[in-house]
Structure formats: structure tokens, C-alpha cells
């Protein structure tokens, strides 16, 4: 399985065996291209994908010792994401599949994150359904009941900013480069998490929805109240630590509510770029332990956008009998997980 990911600002290619073993993988970050603009520029991202993707595919095939004719299928992210990048990746994948006479599988980027926890070797004897997914990234923040391949039930989501977006905005307030998550985490390690009493939006309320706009505004007000000029390192570290602690508390509270809605969950899974944050992992680990279930988090290199998760999601759908010919699937900038459900064949159980 050759897989392509190009939904945002990483150009990624991976080759997986049919049982999910990783044969080759490459991720090319476009961070330097977008840094001067303070965020991802869609047109620049699309042109970078177009420039780098052919060479990355060629490199991956050479590393694996394979030709296109050796592939069983080609998969590519077809949504959600930036439409320009999706058009490049999906178009390249479709062309490759057509030229080689191979099936093309259109993959939902969110499903890639949702199923990463089931990668071979990550959980002893594999991760069984159903489990609770906490999907955390710059564009998404939601609680999802993962009941089977292609079977997703949204329990709650953000009503304003995604958690990764909040990290980026706070980082900008503190003069840190983007993406903001790593910088906030490094700075917070030297700060006092109790120095600033930032709010915990929606904590203690019923339901599983999130809100981070008020927390971001509280940080902006704290920064605005400081003396004019550059923020001293100690104060910046205290703000970062206090903000991060508030985020952890909110995520634990919302995940706790979601687990009440899914008492049969076999695990608490955290995925997406923000899942790389160690303070968040530690907080969720303590919550999972109290519920006597494991916390499952992908290796750090699979928290961000990558093609391994796209190839694995395609394989999962193939093995479950849910993979359709994706040549007619148009790239979609918006494509919720709940829109993926397909009828489960009678001879295939949801747990398989």
C-alpha cells in the first residue's frame, strides 16, 4: 500500500505491507516556507506539495525496493484539509493508480488519526473496539466514540477554537514561533502553573463540548496588563505554564464526561498534533488509570500529519470490506468522520 498525505503543510509518503508493517516513510515539513507569514499559506502549501511529492514517492519506492507494479493499491488523503493540497495529493495518487492499473482508496484524514492507535505493535494483542478518541490538533478538537472501522459517533467538539489553535494564539502573544505547541511546552517547563488563575471553560458542565476562546482571551488580557515592552522570561514561563495547566484540566474534564457516555470503552485514545504534549499525556494517563483503562497515544512521529496513518486507515477499510473505488471521490475541505459510515457486510463483525 502506497499512501500519500498532503492535507496541510506536510508532504508525506509511506509504504505499508498488507498486514500494516511500515516498509518506508518520509515526511517533508514546509515550516520554513510558511514561517515568514506567521501561519500556513494555502497557495504556498499546494505548490510545495506539487514540487516535492513526485520525488518523495520515487524515493520511498526505491527505499522499499519496489516498483509501482508491485503495489496492491494506492491511497491518499481526500479530505478534510486545504483544498489545494488535497487536489495535489489525491490527483497524484489517482494518476499513479490509473497508470499502474491499481485500486485507489480515498482516505479521510480524521479517520487516519482515529485508527492510528490500532497500528500493529502499539498495543499488545491489538486495540479492540469501542474506544474513546480525543482528537486534538490545530483544526480539530472532539470526542469520538470509535465503535468500528467506518463507525464513528461524535460525542462533543469545540464550539469555538480548536486546542491547537489556542496554543498557536497564545504562543504568538508570548512572541514564540509557530507552531506554538512545542514552544509553549518548553517554556512551561520553567514556569509556575499556579501563577495565573486562568479559567477552565465548560469544566464541570454536562456534555463533552470544548471551548478555548475564553481561555485565550484571558491570556491576552494578562499579557495586556503587563508593563510595556518585552515580556521577561520568568513571567512568560509562568503564563505558559498556567495556560497549559488550564488546557490539561479542561481536556481531562471533557474526556471524563465522554467516558461516562461510553462506559464500555476499552481505552482512552489521544491523537493529533497536540497529543505530542507530555503534560496532556500525563493528565490523560491519570484519568485513564482512575477508570482502569489504558491510555493509548501514538508515537510522537505519528501525532502530526503523516502518511503511515493514511495507509493504515486504507488497510483497515480494505480488511473490513468497506473500501470503495475512490477514483470518483472528490477532495473535500470539510469531511466529518460521521459521514464515513458504510453498511457493514453481514459476514464482517464491527470488532474485526
pLDDT tens for 268-280 read: 999 999 999 999 9
Q: Indicate whether 189 and 292 sit together in one domain.
A: yes
Q: Indicate whether 155 and 74 sit together in one domain.
A: no
Which run of H or E residues covers position 240? helix 233-261
**What is the predicted pLDDT for the residue at 178?**
84
**What is the predicted pLDDT for the residue at 341?**
58
134-151 per-position pLDDT tens digit: 999 988 899 999 999 999
Q: Indicate whether 319 and 283 sit together in one domain.
A: no
Q: Residue 20 annotated as binding?
A: no
Q: Indicate whether 95 and 144 sit together in one domain.
A: no
160 is a domain residue: yes
Q: pLDDT band for position 325 (50/70/90)? A: confident
Q: Residue 5 annotated as binding?
A: no
Q: Indicate whether 136 and 280 sit together in one domain.
A: yes
Q: Indicate whether 143 and 87 sit together in one domain.
A: no
Mean pLDDT score of the chain: 94
Instruction: Report the pLDDT averaged over residues 232-258.
Output: 98
Instruction: Report the pLDDT averaged over residues 179-188.
Output: 95
Q: Indicate whether 72 and 139 sit together in one domain.
A: no
Q: Residue 249 annotated as binding?
A: no
pLDDT at residue 3 greater than cutoff 80: yes
Q: Residue 325 annotated as binding?
A: no
Instruction: Report the pLDDT averaged over residues 304-311.
Output: 96
Q: Indicate whether 110 and 254 sit together in one domain.
A: no
Q: Residue 277 annotated as binding?
A: yes
Give me the residues paired with residue 12 across strands.
5, 27
Angle between helix axes 180-188 and 278-290 (nearest 10 degrees) is 80
347 is a domain residue: no
Please give the residue that has the higher pLDDT: either 348 or 293.
Answer: 293
pLDDT at residue 85 greater than cutoff 50: yes
Instruction: Report the pLDDT averaged over residues 95-124.
Output: 96
Q: Indicate whether 181 and 311 sit together in one domain.
A: no
**What is the predicted pLDDT for the residue at 347?**
45
Q: Indicate whether 26 and 97 sit together in one domain.
A: yes
Q: Residue 52 annotated as binding?
A: no
CA 233 to chain centre: 31
219 is a domain residue: yes
**What is the predicted pLDDT for the residue at 138?**
84
Q: Residue 181 annotated as binding?
A: yes
Angle between helix axes 163-173 and 213-224 (nearest 10 degrees) is 10
* CATH code, domain carrying 244: 3.30.420.40
313 is a domain residue: yes
Q: Residue 138 annotated as binding?
A: yes
Q: Provide the domain limits for residue 72.
A: 2-115+302-339
111, 116, 120, 123: CA torsion to nearest 10 = -130
318 is a domain residue: yes
346 is a domain residue: no
Domain count, the chain: 2
**What is the predicted pLDDT for the residue at 344?**
44
Q: Residue 183 annotated as binding?
A: no
Phi-psi category of residue 219: left, alpha or beta, with phi > 0 → left and psi -120 to 50 → alpha: alpha
329-352 per-position pLDDT tens digit: 999 999 999 888 554 444 433 333
Give me the residues paired with residue 16 across strands.
22
**What is the predicted pLDDT for the residue at 201?**
96
Q: pLDDT band for position 227 (50/70/90)? A: very high
What pTM was computed for the model? 0.93
- Which residue shows C-alpha cell 491518499? 76
Give me the residues paired with residue 143 across strands.
134, 156
Q: Indicate whether 134 and 272 sit together in one domain.
A: yes
Q: Indicate whether 161 and 208 sit together in one domain.
A: yes
Q: pLDDT band for position 326 (50/70/90)? A: confident
pLDDT at residue 181 greater than cutoff 90: yes
Candidates 34, 173, 119; CA nearest to 8 is 34
**What is the predicted pLDDT for the residue at 169?**
95
pLDDT at residue 177 greater than cutoff 70: yes
216 is a domain residue: yes
Instruction: Report the pLDDT averaged over residues 123-144.
Output: 94
121 is a domain residue: no
Q: Residue 168 annotated as binding?
A: yes
Share of the chain above pLDDT 90, in %: 88
Amino acid at each position: 500500500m502506497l499512501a500519500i498525505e498532503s492535507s496541510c503543510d506536510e508532504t508525506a509518503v509511506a509504504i505499508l505491507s498488507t498486514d500494516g508493517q511500515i516498509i518506508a516513510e518520509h515526511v517533508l515539513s514546509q515550516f520554513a516556507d510558511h514561517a515568514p507569514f506567521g501561519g500556513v499559506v494555502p497557495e504556498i502549501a499546494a505548490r510545495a506539495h506539487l514540487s516535492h511529492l513526485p520525488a518523495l514517492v520515487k524515493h520511498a519506492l526505491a527505499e522499499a525496493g519496489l516498483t509501482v507494479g508491485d503495489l496492491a493499491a494506492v491511497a491518499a488523503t481526500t479530505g478534510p484539509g486545504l483544498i489545494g493540497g488535497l487536489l495535489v495529493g489525491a490527483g497524484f495518487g489517482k494518476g499513479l493508480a490509473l497508470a499502474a492499473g491499481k485500486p485507489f482508496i480515498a482516505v479521510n484524514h480524521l479517520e487516519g488519526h482515529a485508527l492510528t492507535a490500532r497500528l500493529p505493535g502499539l498495543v499488545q494483542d491489538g486495540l479492540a473496539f469501542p474506544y474513546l478518541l480525543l482528537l486534538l490538533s490545530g483544526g480539530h478538537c472532539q470526542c469520538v466514540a470509535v465503535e468500528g472501522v467506518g463507525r464513528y459517533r461524535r460525542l462533543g467538539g469545540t464550539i469555538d477554537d480548536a486546542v491547537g489553535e489556542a496554543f498557536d494564539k497564545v504562543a504568538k502573544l508570548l512572541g514564540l514561533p509557530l507552531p506554538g505547541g512545542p514552544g509553549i511546552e518548553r517554556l512551561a517547563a520553567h514556569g509556575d502553573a499556579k501563577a495565573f488563575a486562568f479559567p477552565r471553560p465548560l469544566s464541570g458542565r454536562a456534555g463533552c463540548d470544548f471551548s478555548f476562546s475564553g481561555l485565550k482571551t484571558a491570556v491576552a488580557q494578562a499579557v495586556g496588563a503587563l508593563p510595556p515592552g518585552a515580556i521577561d522570561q520568568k513571567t512568560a514561563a509562568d503564563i505558559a505554564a498556567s495556560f497549559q495547566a488550564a488546557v490539561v484540566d479542561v481536556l481531562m474534564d471533557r474526556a471524563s464526561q465522554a467516558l461516562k457516555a461510553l462506559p464500555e470503552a476499552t481505552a482512552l485514545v489521544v491523537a493529533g498534533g497536540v497529543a505530542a504534549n507530555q503534560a496532556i499525556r500525563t493528565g490523560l494517563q491519570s484519568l485513564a488509570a482512575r477508570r482502569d483503562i489504558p491510555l493509548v497515544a501514538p508515537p510522537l512521529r505519528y501525532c502530526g500529519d503523516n502518511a503511515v496513518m493514511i495507509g493504515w486507515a486504507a488497510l483497515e477499510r480494505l480488511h473490513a470490506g468497506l473500501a470503495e473505488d475512490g477514483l470518483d471521490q472528490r477532495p473535500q475541505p470539510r469531511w466529518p468522520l460521521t459521514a464515513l459510515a458504510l453498511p457493514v457486510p453481514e459476514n464482517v463483525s464491527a470488532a474485526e
